[in-house]
Amino acid sequence: MNQLIEISPEVSKALAEHRPVVALESTIISHGMSYPQNVETACRVEQTVRQNGAVPATIAILGGRLKVGLTDSEIDYLGRQGRRVAKVSRRDMPVVLSRHQDGATTVASTMIIAHLAGIKVFATGGIGGVHRGAETTMDISADLEELAQTPVMVVCAGPKAILDLGLTLEYLETKGVPVIGYGTDTLPAFYSRTSAYKVDYRLDTPQDIAGAFAAARDLNFRTGMLVANPVPEEYAMPEQEINAAIEKALQEVQNQSIKGKEITPFLLSKIVSLTDGKSLETNIRLVLNNAALAARIAACL
């Protein structure tokens, strides 16, 4: 693996000393928002991890190398390149690596690389899942399959609200992935704090969540764990407002025949436009909130 993976000195030292480390994805930098806000947000997320007692490890593929812990200049490079950088999930990794290309990592590929590096906790915005209409399109995110087979904890604000939340939970149940609500009995819906669905278990402290994850490791389970952390109340969007924007955005997807991994970036961008930027501010705040919780859980582990 040494020829493929490059861990920054700071992250490597923290891992060797058994200090808490939190993995962070890079798709949010290259595909999540425009420059320079993407870079500013990525730096704020790293700072939040540090403020809560852990070392941040932003992950990407650069020049065909799995990079764990990016420099400021590398984050800026990804931000400036934007969507010119490939969006890389599990299926894309072999080709991107063999061609010595750059890639922004999704939830799935970030989990893979974090696990290879020995990082147990990963903070993101929201996970992918079962898309609406998947009973005919079979459009299901690789994030779910990765949670089923890679033992990394993913701290998020729930599945992205553009998805079919009920079917996403059913898929995770089938794969044996526990969905933990942090201080909540109901599944957060990314932009909103609640939904019509229940989580598997409610745990109210980082210590309790760390204990459950440690127990899964003691059992030698190979599955991950999903921690659903509601967006802070002051930044949450009313369900009716955001659902109306989602329905309009989904109609545009159909009208323009957008498919595959381009659906999510398009929908999120369209929703930002339809909500006059309010959804973007919510997105940023929930990522920061997740980074803080992930750091506290990692410290407990």
Name residue 290's amino acid.
N
Distance CA 6, CA 69 (A): 8
User: Per CATH, which fold does 127-301 belong to?
Assistant: Indigoidine synthase fold (3.40.1790)
CA nearest neighbour of 279 among 228, 230, 242: 242
Q: Which one of the listed residues 120, 160, 261, 270 is annotated catalytic? A: 160
Task: Reply yes or no on whether 17 is catalytic.
Answer: no
Q: Kindly report the three-state secondary structure assignment for every residue of 43-60.
A: HHHHHHHHHCCCEEEEEE
Q: What is the pLDDT of residue 1?
A: 59
Q: What is the pLDDT of residue 135?
A: 84
Distance CA 29, CA 22 (A): 17
Could you tell me whether strands 153-156 and 121-123 are parallel, antiparallel, or unpaired per DSSP bridges?
A: parallel
Residue 179, SS3 per DSSP? strand
Q: Domain locations in the chain?
A: 1-119, 127-301
Compute the C-alpha angle 148/175/162, nearest 5°. Answer: 80
Task: Reply yes or no on whether 160 is catalytic.
Answer: yes
pLDDT in tens, the chain (301 residues): 578 999 999 999 999 999 999 999 999 999 988 999 999 999 999 999 999 999 999 999 999 999 999 999 999 999 999 999 999 999 999 999 999 999 999 999 999 999 999 999 999 999 999 988 888 888 899 999 999 999 999 999 999 888 999 999 999 999 999 999 999 999 999 999 999 999 999 999 999 999 999 999 999 999 999 999 999 999 999 888 988 998 898 888 888 988 776 777 788 788 988 999 899 999 999 999 999 999 999 999 9
Q: DSSP label at 233? A: G
Q: Which one of the listed residues 25, 46, 74, 146 is annotated catalytic? A: 25
The fourth-level CATH superfamily of domain 1-119 is Indigoidine synthase domain (3.40.1790.10)
Q: DSSP label at 277? A: T
The answer to whether the 1-119 and 127-301 domains have the same CATH topology is yes
Distance CA 145, CA 150 (A): 9
Q: What is the pLDDT of residue 49?
A: 98
Cα 296 to chain centroid distance, Å, stands at 17
Q: What is the pLDDT of residue 246?
A: 87
Name residue 124's amino acid.
T
**Taking a C-beta distance cutoff of 8 angstroms, is the pair 30, 79 a contact?**
yes
Q: What is the pLDDT of residue 144?
A: 98
